[in-house]
Amino acid sequence: MDDARARALLAELRADALARLAALGEAHGDVVDAARGANVDDEHDPEGATIAFERAQLEALAADARRRLEEVDAALARLAAGTYGRCAVGGEPIDDARLAARPTAATCVAHA
């Protein structure tokens, strides 16, 4: 994969991760705000999932988005350093099909 295509793809993934983080932050705020006026005994809420569960689920999704952002930033750093597309373990080239499927890949399939 050429550098320009990789850079564009990684920039798109980075923007997506940032947008997901922003949306999840808003959703978390909504859950917290809703809890203020709700029954404090959310463990026995007949409406379904507890507020604590909803918060935990949003926090897990946000952690996933932050990990994705870290992977993208690491890939962009490898691109800047000239090591993007080379396996971090063995140094061999990473197949273009792998990079197309997983642009943040730091290893070849054999070392994945």
Q: Tens digits of per-residue pLDDT, 81-97?
A: 999 999 999 999 999 99
Q: pTM (2 decimals)?
A: 0.79
* 38-42, 46-50, 64-68, 70-74: range with lowest mean pLDDT: 38-42
- 3-36 and 51-81 helices cross at what angle (nearest 10)? 160
Whether pLDDT at 43 is above 70: no
User: Are 97 and 6 a contacting pair, CB within 8 Å?
Assistant: no
pLDDT at 40: 53
Average pLDDT over residues 72-79: 98
